[in-house]
């Protein structure tokens, strides 16, 4: 009441209450300021969003402008004479026999013919035009369809990455010959191939289906993609049930005592631990103590599960807490046990929130590099992992490695791989939204 | 709050005998003896002794915060879900101490069902709402039996005609009054002996309220009903006996007609005539 009396003005009534017209005048006076503050606040918000959007646009523009060309590369078409005796000396089409055969020679011959290269230096220059992966292509073509042996086939091979860069205009003819990786002879041959319409710019199947390679034109993300899938599966299988169970226990069953309090604080703190620490943990425990092999998705998944657990637990607990208590009362009121109340009502209602948390955690895990470097998933592995115990790498680590290579083509492939990673992330989020919507519609 | 001065008429000690009127009945279903309920250090119910008669409606009235809900929830151990809540004294259902160590709250709550202040149907279909209790308690051996239970419960709750064509639709899509009747159907589906209702009509309009009151009246043929209400008229309309609580104590209990026409205790009279509360 004293407050009111302090505010008393000539217009106020004697009982301390303000008269309506005085109040109305003061409200009117304050409205201008209030509106202005609101406007200012709103404009701050708009500026913040604008800046964020601008950065996003710059980021996407740069990634896409660099990355889209990374999805394409140059190929050359050659007429290869597939001599049975030369390509398959043992005649049994076994891998051994094919590798003993002279695929390289067959391709070279076709190349010399197409370019008209002759002489030692001319042939050497012509040989450098084509990718080293060409022989593998040829062997694969023979395995896929042995009937082509003994015929002459028109075949498409990737060009070497330096030639690719030249064709894209990254290597200029005007640079002195000694300073460029393509000599004048090669340029002559390339010009001829272009004039003969043998060169085409096409979608890069190596990028999608190729594995790690030191040759930029052959390098692809398939191995890393499979590695990511395997690692994430391990991570999901471990982290989701464990996280949800922990959240349910802590929210509904744990006694409120010192111990659970300490556990809770630790879980919250774990969410803020730098991810590389989990990598060191994995290195020390799984590889150091248990002596498990390095570089395998199994350990990568376990490490990432440790890293994502706090995220899943925290968001699951929030989701459980968000279930209205009246639902619990209702279930308990008809005689459901605590367990039944949880399993039949609370957990299903909290599931969309739990899934969101899980997918956010998985997205984090998908983009994680540091802890995986610690456990050796950065190794150069050509083979695509077939199981969680085969050595492998993951997408972000692959990107990280490529970003380190000097070749021009790796720069583009790095951006292309980033686009694939982003697409992967976006589809994961889309899946999350879809699952949420579907679950929510049920009620 | 308990330290606040003992109100007029309650000066003498806190013995249960302080309650005016007859707390005992001839064939009690529930007997509460010297019940104290604490929230932490705070005493919310102080020495309440009361019998609840079979197949009767008893209403609890009293000012807000006097402990009506607390006492009601002590009757089916819903207070167990509150960590800091502690109970002393003795409550027996059909002569059996419901707080005895060997008692399982699950069957107890099936025998003593509860309807809450705010309608709280499960976010499931109407059918599943009613079928949930029978399912978890294994009351039906096959689908046809379950269908029967659901139909009968909805009929008894006076909701059947309104929902018989939309049993698969969500219970949360019903109106408030329908939801509350659905909750009642859900409660009676497990064939309880006692139904506890905590202000079941406070979120409803007068017409929905009238329907629930009518329903309570009908259900009292079969069930023992305890209802907490803030509406004097409602207590007068639906209950056989009325108990007046104040600051955790049971001040007066008696036949509803008696209490409303001729309360013995001054505080009861003040409350009923609207002089405080
Ligand atoms: N969960 C709780 N924790 C602590 N104190 C509580 C809790 N629930 C109730 N109380 C206290 O116990 C006392 C009795 O509460 P109760 O809910 O039983 O009153 P009530 O008579 O039902 O009131 P109302 O008519 O407003 O529903 C109140 O003082 C209240 O503050
Ligand atoms: Mg209450």
Q: Which long-range contacts (CB under 8 A, 24 or more apart) does A88-92 make?
A: A88/A142, A88/A149
User: Cβ B136–A336 below 8 Å, yes or no?
Assistant: yes
pLDDT in tens, A101-122: 888 899 999 999 888 888 888 8
Q: Which residues of B touch A324 (CB under 8 A)?
A: 120
Contact A416, A67 (CB under 8 A): yes
Closest CA to B132 of A320, A319, A332: A332
A195 touches chain B (CB under 8 A): no
Q: How many angstroms away from the CA of A415 is the closest CA of chain B? A: 47
- pLDDT above 70 for A3: no
Distance between CA B185 and CA B179 in Å, rounded? 10
| Residues having CB within 6 Å of any atom of ligand 1 | B 1, 39, 44, 62, 64-70, 82
| Helix runs in B51-203, H state only | 68-74, 105-111, 126-137, 143-156, 160-163, 176-188
What is the reported pLDDT for B6? 37
**Mean pLDDT, chain B, as a whole number?**
89
Ligand 2 mean position, distance from CA A326 (Å): 14
Ligand 1 mean position, distance from CA B85 (Å): 11
Average pLDDT over residues A3-11: 46
Average pLDDT over residues A316-331: 93
Q: Is residue B18 domain-resident? A: no
User: Cβ A330–B122 below 8 Å, yes or no?
Assistant: yes
**CATH number reported for the structural domain that contains residue B119 in this entry:** 3.40.50.300
- pLDDT above 80 for A137: yes
pLDDT in tens, B121-135: 999 999 999 999 999
Of the pLDDT bands very low, low, confident and very high (cuts 50, 70, 90), residue A381 is: confident
Closest ligand to C-alpha of residue B197 is 2
Of the pLDDT bands very low, low, confident and very high (cuts 50, 70, 90), residue B223 is: very high
Query: Into how many domains does chain B fold?
Result: 1
User: Cβ B106–A337 below 8 Å, yes or no?
Assistant: yes
Q: Is residue B258 domain-resident? A: yes
Closest ligand to C-alpha of residue B74 is 1
Q: How many angstroms away from the CA of B130 is the closest CA of chain A? A: 10
| Interhelix angle A297-321/A347-366, nearest 10 degrees | 140
What is the reported pLDDT for A236? 95
Distance between CA A337 and CA B154 in Å, rounded? 24
- List all residues 6 or more positions away from A384 whose beta carbon is below 8 Å from its beta carbon: A211, A222, A223, A226, A392
- What single-letter DSSP state applies at residue A342? I
Q: Which residues of B touch A339 (CB under 8 A)?
A: none
Distance between CA B9 and CA B14 in Å, rounded? 12
Cα nearest neighbour of A254 on chain B: B83
Instruction: Give the mutation candidate from A330, A331, A337, A439 for the B interface (greatest B CB count, under 10 A).
Output: A330
B-facing residues of A in 271-330 (CB < 8 A) are 324, 326-330
- pLDDT above 70 for B277: no
Distance between CA B271 and CA B68 in Å, rounded? 15
Q: Is residue B169 domain-resident? A: yes
What is the reported pLDDT for A19? 85
Q: Which residues of B touch A256 (CB under 8 A)?
A: 83
Distance between CA A54 and CA A51 in Å, rounded? 5
Cα nearest neighbour of A440 on chain B: B123
Q: How many angstroms away from the CA of B85 is the closest CA of chain A? A: 14
- pLDDT above 70 for A7: no
Question: Strand B194-198 and strand B224-228: pairing?
Answer: parallel
pLDDT in tens, B34-79: 999 999 999 999 999 999 999 999 999 999 999 999 999 999 999 9
Which residue among B78, B116, B136 places its CB closest to the CB of A326?
B116
- pLDDT above 90 for B181: yes
Atom of ligand 1 nearest to the CA of B68: 21
Contact B264, B252 (CB under 8 A): yes
Average pLDDT over residues B156-174: 92
Average pLDDT over residues A164-182: 87
Longest dimension (CA), chain B: 60
What is the reported pLDDT for B2? 38
B176 touches chain A (CB under 8 A): no
Domain ranges of chain A: 70-211, 222-439
What is the reported pLDDT for B198? 94
User: Cβ A329–B78 below 8 Å, yes or no?
Assistant: yes
DSSP percent split of chain B into helix, strand, coil, nearest 5: 35, 25, 40
Ligand 2 mean position, distance from CA A327 (Å): 17
pTM reported for the whole predicted model: 0.80
CATH superfamily for A222-439 is MetI-like (1.10.3720.10)
Average pLDDT over residues A362-371: 91
Q: How far is CA B51 from CA A250, B22, B95, B145, in A?
A: 39, 9, 11, 35
Lowest-confidence segment of A42-46, A193-197, A381-385, B242-246 by average pLDDT: A381-385
- pLDDT above 50 for B143: yes
Distance between CA A88 and CA A102 in Å, rounded? 8
A-facing residues of B in 18-37 (CB < 8 A) are none
Using a pLDDT cut of 90, give the percent of chain B over it. Answer: 77
Distance of CA A342 to the CA centre of its chain: 35
Contact B256, B59 (CB under 8 A): yes
| Helix runs in A101-160, H state only | 103-115, 120-127, 134-144
Of the pLDDT bands very low, low, confident and very high (cuts 50, 70, 90), residue A14 is: low
ipTM reported for the complex, 2 dp: 0.86
Size of interface A-B (CB pairs under 8 A): 66
Most confident option among A78-92, A220-234, A400-414: A220-234
What is the reported pLDDT for B276? 59
**Mean pLDDT, chain A, as a whole number?**
88
Instruction: Give the mutation candidate from B72, B123, B130, B176 for the A interface (greatest A CB count, under 10 A).
Output: B123
Which residue among B78, B83, B183 places its CB closest to the CB of A332?
B78
How many other C-beta atoms are found inside a 10 Å radius of the C-beta of residue A170? 13
Question: Strand B224-228 and strand B57-61: pairing?
Answer: parallel
The DSSP code sequence of A224-266 is HHHHHHHHHHHHHHHHHHHHHHHHHIIIIIS--SHHHHHHHHH
Distance between CA B98 and CA B104 in Å, rounded? 8
Distance between CA A431 and CA A427 in Å, rounded? 6
Range of the domain at B47: 28-272
Q: For A199, phi and psi rounded to 5 degrees?
A: -95, 130
B-facing residues of A in 337-356 (CB < 8 A) are 337, 340, 344-345, 349
User: Cβ A334–B187 below 8 Å, yes or no?
Assistant: yes
What is the reported pLDDT for A120? 87
Q: How many angstroms away from the CA of A251 is the closest CA of chain B? A: 13
B237 touches chain A (CB under 8 A): no
């Amino acid at each position: 009441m004293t407050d009111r009396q302090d505010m008393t003005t000539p217009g106020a009534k004697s009982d301390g209450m303000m008269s309506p017209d005085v109040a109305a005048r003061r409200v009117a006076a304050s409205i201008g300021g209030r509106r202005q503050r609101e406007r200012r606040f709103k404009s701050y918000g708009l500026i913040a969003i604008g800046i964020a959007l601008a950065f996003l646009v710059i980021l996407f523009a740069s990634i896409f402008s660099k990355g889209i060309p990374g999805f394409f590369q140059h190929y050359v078409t050659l007429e290869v004479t597939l001599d049975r005796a030369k390509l398959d000396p043992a005649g049994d089409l076994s891998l051994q026999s094919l590798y003993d055969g002279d695929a390289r020679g067959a391709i070279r011959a076709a190349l010399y013919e197409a370019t008209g290269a002759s002489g030692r230096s001319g042939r050497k220059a012509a040989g450098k035009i084509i990718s080293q992966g060409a022989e593998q292509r040829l062997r694969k073509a023979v395995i896929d369809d042995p009937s082509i042996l003994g015929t002459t086939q028109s075949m498409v091979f990737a060009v070497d990455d330096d030639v690719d860069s030249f064709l894209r205009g990254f290597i200029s003819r005007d640079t002195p010959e000694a300073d460029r990786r393509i000599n004048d002879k090669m340029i002559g041959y390339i010009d001829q191939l272009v004039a003969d319409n043998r060169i085409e710019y096409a979608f890069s199947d190596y990028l999608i289906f190729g594995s790690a390679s030191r040759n930029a034109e052959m390098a692809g993300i398939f191995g890393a993609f499979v590695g990511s899938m395997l690692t994430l599966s391990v991570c999901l299988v471990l982290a989701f049930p464990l996280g949800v169970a922990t959240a349910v226990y802590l929210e509904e069953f744990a006694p409120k005592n010192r111990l659970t309090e300490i556990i809770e604080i630790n879980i919250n703190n774990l969410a803020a631990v730098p991810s590389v620490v989990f990598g060191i943990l994995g290195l020390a425990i799984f590889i150091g103590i248990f002596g498990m092999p390095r570089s395998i998705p199994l350990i990568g998944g376990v490490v990432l599960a440790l890293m994502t657990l706090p995220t899943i637990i925290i968001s699951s607990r929030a989701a459980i807490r968000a279930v209205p208590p009246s639902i619990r009362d209702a279930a308990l009121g008809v005689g459901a046990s605590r367990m039944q109340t949880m399993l039949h009502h609370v957990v299903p209602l909290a599931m969309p929130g739990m899934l969101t948390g899980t997918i956010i955690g998985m997205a984090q895990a998908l983009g994680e590099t540091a802890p995986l470097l610690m456990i050796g998933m950065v190794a150069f592995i050509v083979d695509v992992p077939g199981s969680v115990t085969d050595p492998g790498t993951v997408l972000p680590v692959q990107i990280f490695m490529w970003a380190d290579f000097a070749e021009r083509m790796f720069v583009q492939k790095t951006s292309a791989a980033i686009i694939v990673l982003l697409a992967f992330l976006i589809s994961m989020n889309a899946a999350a939204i879809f699952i949420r919507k579907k679950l929510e519609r049920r009620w | 709050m308990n330290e606040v001065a003992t109100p007029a008429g309650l000066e003498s000690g806190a013995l249960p005998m302080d309650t005016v009127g007859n707390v005992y009945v001839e064939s009690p279903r529930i007997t509460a003896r010297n019940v104290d309920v604490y929230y932490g250090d705070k005493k919310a119910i102080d020495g309440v002794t009361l019998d609840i008669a079979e197949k009767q409606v008893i209403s609890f009235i009293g000012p807000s915060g006097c402990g009506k809900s607390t006492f009601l929830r002590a009757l089916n151990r819903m207070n167990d879900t509150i960590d800091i809540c502690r109970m002393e004294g003795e409550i027996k259902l059909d002569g059996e101490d419901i707080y005895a160590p060997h008692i399982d709250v699950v069957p107890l709550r099936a025998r003593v069902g509860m309807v809450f202040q705010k309608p709280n149907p499960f976010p499931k279909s109407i059918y599943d709402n009613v079928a949930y209790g029978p399912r978890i308690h294994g009351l039906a051996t096959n689908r046809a039996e379950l269908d029967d239970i659901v139909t009968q419960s909805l009929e008894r709750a006076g909701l059947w005609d309104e929902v018989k064509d939309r049993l698969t639709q969500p219970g949360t899509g019903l109106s408030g009054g329908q939801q509350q009747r659905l909750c009642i159907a859900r409660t009676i589906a497990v064939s309880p002996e006692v139904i506890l209702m905590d202000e079941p009509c406070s979120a409803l309009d007068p017409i929905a309220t009238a329907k629930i009151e009518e329903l309570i009246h009908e259900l009292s043929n079969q069930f023992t009903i305890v209802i907490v209400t803030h509406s004097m008229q409602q207590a007068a309309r639906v209950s056989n006996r009325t108990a007046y609580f104040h600051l955790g104590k049971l001040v007066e209990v008696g036949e509803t007609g008696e209490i409303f026409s001729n309360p013995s205790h001054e505080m009861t009279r003040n409350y009923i005539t609207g002089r405080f509360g």
